[in-house]
């Protein structure tokens, strides 16, 4: 599969100035900017910045950033599933994971996160992918936002909808371990029916494995 990337950009006017949202960007482009010290949701800022750089030039890797003139204040990542995760089970080239989306607290009311998702989907090549995002309530900033689990879930659904992702059922044990967790999915219009059927098997992998085991008895 030839993973093609086409750069797009928009601007968001905020009380603190104009934010540029652009991507996919390369490691070379990332090196032109500072990485804000408050981007700490997943690991210390410098380590997270290095992680973004390692993803940016992967064939399927996509990094969309939100920045001031010289500082990255938000980002979203896309890449193939980790080899140790359920979602890599069939090695589907057409399946990519929205792995992380983060915006510093000062800009969270400026719709930067939804802008990151909008820019992500401006690239026509995204229509060749099934994009998934696994949402677990224990990753949510409930304390910082002072939202209930269910209000945060509603906020996440609204934000993900800006990128065309909607909730989809699955029997993944981690997701079904709490009713607020969910699998979000966007199926591109160019994805083949056979690929969609394979993804449906992947969503209900436990059921299919059990059925195969029963048939093998």
54 found inside a domain: yes
Question: Tell me, what's the pLDDT at 143?
Answer: 87
Write out the H or E segment, with its range, that includes residue 166: strand 166-168
193 found inside a domain: yes
Q: How many domains does the chain have?
A: 1
91 found inside a domain: yes
Check pLDDT > 50 for residue 177.
yes
168 found inside a domain: yes
CATH number at residue 34: 3.40.630.30
Residue 165 token pair: 């992702």
Check pLDDT > 70 for residue 12.
yes
Q: What is the mean pLDDT of the chain?
A: 93
Q: Give the pLDDT mean for 192-213.
A: 82
pTM, full prediction: 0.92
48 found inside a domain: yes
Question: Tell me, what's the pLDDT at 52?
Answer: 98
134 found inside a domain: yes
Confidence tier at 144 by pLDDT (50, 70, 90): confident
25 found inside a domain: yes
Containing domain of residue 139, as a range? 8-216
- Lowest average pLDDT, out of 22-31, 39-48, 204-213, goes to 204-213
Check pLDDT > 80 for residue 85.
yes
2 found inside a domain: no
* Residues composing the chain: 217
Rounded to an integer, what distance in angstroms lies between the CA atom of residue 79 and that of residue 32? 22
Distances from the Cα of 205 to the Cαs of 169, 170, 194, in angstroms? Answer: 12, 8, 16
Residue 207 token pair: 């059921």
Check pLDDT > 70 for residue 55.
yes
Q: Answer whether 22's CB lies under 8 Å from 8's CB.
A: yes
Percent of residues, the chain, with pLDDT higher than 70: 95
Whether the bond between 125 and the residue before it is cis, its omega within 30 degrees of 0, is no
Grouping H, G, I as helix, E, B as strand and the rest as coil, residue 111 is coil
Question: Tell me, what's the pLDDT at 217?
Answer: 45
Rounded to an integer, what distance in angstroms lies between the CA atom of residue 35 and that of residue 22? 15
Check pLDDT > 60 for residue 180.
yes
| DSSP 8-state secondary structure symbol assigned to residue 4 | -
């Amino acid at each position: 599969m030839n993973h093609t990337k086409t750069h797009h950009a928009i601007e968001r006017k905020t009380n603190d100035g104009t934010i540029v949202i652009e991507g996919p960007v390369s490691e070379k482009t990332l090196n032109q900017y500072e990485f804000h010290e408050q981007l700490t949701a997943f690991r210390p800022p410098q380590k997270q910045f290095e992680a973004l750089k390692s993803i940016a030039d992967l064939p399927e890797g996509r990094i969309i950033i939100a920045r001031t003139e010289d500082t990255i204040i938000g980002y979203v990542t896309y890449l193939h599933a980790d080899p140790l995760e359920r979602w890599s089970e069939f090695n589907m080239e057409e399946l990519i994971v929205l792995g992380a989306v983060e915006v510093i607290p000062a800009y969270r009311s400026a719709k930067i996160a939804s802008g990151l998702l909008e820019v992500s989907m401006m690239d026509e090549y995204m229509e060749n992918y099934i994009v998934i995002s696994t949402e677990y309530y224990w990753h949510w900033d409930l304390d910082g936002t002072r939202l209930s689990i269910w209000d945060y879930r509603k906020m996440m659904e609204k934000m993900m909808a800006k990128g065309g992702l909607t909730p989809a059922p699955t029997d993944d044990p981690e997701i079904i371990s709490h009713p607020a967790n969910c699998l979000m999915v966007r199926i591109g219009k160019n994805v083949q029916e056979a690929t969609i059927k394979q993804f449906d098997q992947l969503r209900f992998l436990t059921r299919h494995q059990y059925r195969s085991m029963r048939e093998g008895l």
